[in-house]
Amino acid sequence: MLKYLKKYWYFCLLAPLFMFGEIAMDLWQPDMMSEIVDKGVLAADMDVIISIGVIMILLVLFGGFCGIMSGVFANLASQQFANDLRKDLFRKIMNLSFQQTDKISTGSLITRLSNDVTQVERMVMMAIRSVVRCSVMFVGGIFMLSRQSLRFALIAVCALPIVVFLVFFFMKKASPLFKVVQQKLDGVNNVMQENVAGARVVKAYVKEDYEMERFDDANDALCEINLKVQSILAFMGPCMNIVLNVCVVGILYVGGITVKSGGGLTPGEIMASITYMAMILNGVMFMANIFQTFTRAKASADRISEVLKEQEIIKDGEMTLDNEAMAKGQVEFKDVSFTYPNSGGQPVLHHISFKVSRGETLAIIGSTGSGKSSLVNLIPRFYDCTEGEVLVNGVNVKDHKLQDLREKIGIVLQKAELYSRSIEANIRWGKETATPWEIKNAAEIAQADDFICDTEYGYYTNVTEGGHSLSGGQKQRISIARAVLKDPEILIFDDSTSALDLRTEANLYEALKKASPDATKIIIAQRIASVKDADRIAVIENGTIADIGTHEELMENSEYYREIYNSQLKGGVDVE
């Protein structure tokens, strides 16, 4: 991830330089305090106290300025780093195929985009600022301590292996648990995301207590692993303090013996030595905290890299629009079979072959789970077929550029997805440059104009999150208007009129036929009454096309179609 810091190299350089200035001032302070004690206090010389004190104040102000600037530049680097990383991660998630997003839960993706990026951002901040602070404080402290007495420096050197051992011991215990912490956080986010999205179902089935128990279990698991990590790390601070205090006692003992024997040490120098020793060991303790942050960030970085390193499964083809065959709007399946990746199950589709010409309407009916949605998902390459070929405009979909392919297709999915913005903005998704007249015309074709105009602000009425302020039929009609506005060569309705009454549905198809006579239409439906006027009807049974033909042909030749017809219609009247 260092590539994200390259463009901010100047911030990464300036932050440590200013930090060096701040630490230099901190290291100078004990030496000057030693002079105040020895030459001012013990000698009762107020002029020395005042003159050195003024210099110390000026140095403190300069050190404070350096510390502020170091923090500013470190924040600029880390925040910009996180901003770029978060954008690239989101862009990567948006470009993942359905096959890839099926492997990673929504809650986990949210955690990686938020908490994991924050952990790595903290690591960058510490790497730029705190590592320099600790290193300079440690090396500078030993140097300044050795100036006071080599014996004192020897005490620090003897304590160092103990401190290093403690750091590595506790980090080794805690490191494997940080990845588990992030996984448990995934679990909390998963439960939260499911319950926010499905709040109405939870309330309808009075499952609030059950869902609260699920959340409590996930949250307790997160709390338990966090406590385990913090319990391990909680021992590190007291152990470090014990080593620090033993070193201070050692300095006082050696210093006292040296002063008593007339070895040349003064009380001020002993005071300065104690301060330097505290600086050295505090620097090591702070470095231990940095190791903790780095270890946790490493787990987060691995999770982020797992997404960033995902290779594109659905890749662009080489064909350009200029090289495209002239069979516009044509869809053809040639001996297509399909199995969902990583499912380990049986193929969903078996040897499917059919052809839909420009302007033709093909209806697809079949029982639940027969493979209808899986079939149409292969046309815009939401998935790639396992065997055979899917052709659009006479060219294999794998040879199309994805954007060019999907620009030709308008698809309305089973679940009507709307976003928390105005109705006009939701429809405009189909064509960003659309005029208000074009948007209104698309809504009229989708039989949505009347109810939209009856809302308080018309087309500029805001839709609540998930479209909960609208009925199922209203959401479906807005989604259809969005696809119609796109004016695609191929229009796919994946059971997207299920919430409409038969009259509204008939009016929709009639308006669509007049407005887009050249568009190829593929309609998945459950009701024969909805599709009996289609040019052809394909009956899918157990992942294969059992029969295909007009309504009249199927009534004559397909027993399965007649069974569906008789179960739904009696004397031409819809039982429903």
Domain of residue 54, CATH code: 1.20.1560.10
> Would you say residue 377 lies in a domain?
no
Token pair of 223, please? 């709390």
| Mean pLDDT, residues 125-142 taken together | 82
Q: Has residue 254 been placed in a domain?
A: yes
Task: Out of 208-212, 256-260, 325-329, pick the least confident.
Answer: 325-329
Contact assessment for residue 499 and residue 472, using Cβ atoms and an 8 Å cutoff = yes
Count of structural domains, the chain: 1
pLDDT band of residue 570 (cuts 50, 70, 90) is low
pLDDT digits (tens, 9 = 90+) for 303-316: 888 888 887 777 77
Sequence-distant (6+) residues with CB within 8 A of 450 are none
- Above 90 in pLDDT, residue 491? yes
| Interatomic CA distance for residues 312 and 265, integer angstroms | 70
Domain that holds residue 143: 8-179+233-308
Q: Treating both helix axes as pointing N-terminal to C-terminal, what angle do 208-234 and 236-260 enclose, rounded to 10 degrees?
A: 20
- pLDDT for 320 equals 62
Q: 510 in a domain, yes or no?
A: no
Q: pLDDT class for 277, splitting at 50, 70, 90?
A: confident
pTM: 0.71
Q: Does residue 497 fall inside a structural domain?
A: no
Q: What is the DSSP letter of 533?
A: T
Q: Among positive and negative, which fits the CA dihedral 312, 314, 317, 321?
A: negative
Helix (H) or strand (E) holding 207: none
Is 522 inside a domain boundary?
no
> Has residue 536 been placed in a domain?
no
Distance in angstroms (rounded) separating the CA atoms of residues 471 and 418: 12
Radius of gyration of the chain (CA): 36
d(CA 95, CA 98): 9
Q: Could you tell me if residue 245 is inside a domain?
A: yes
- Please determine, for residue 105, whether its predicted confidence score (pLDDT) is greater than 80: no
Q: How confident is the model at residue 573 (pLDDT cuts 50, 70, 90)?
A: very low
18: closest CA among 60, 64, 58, 66? 66
5-51 pLDDT, tens digit each: 888 888 888 998 998 888 888 888 887 787 777 777 766 778 778 88
Q: Is residue 506 part of a domain?
A: no
- Bridge partners of residue 523, in order along the sequence: 363, 493
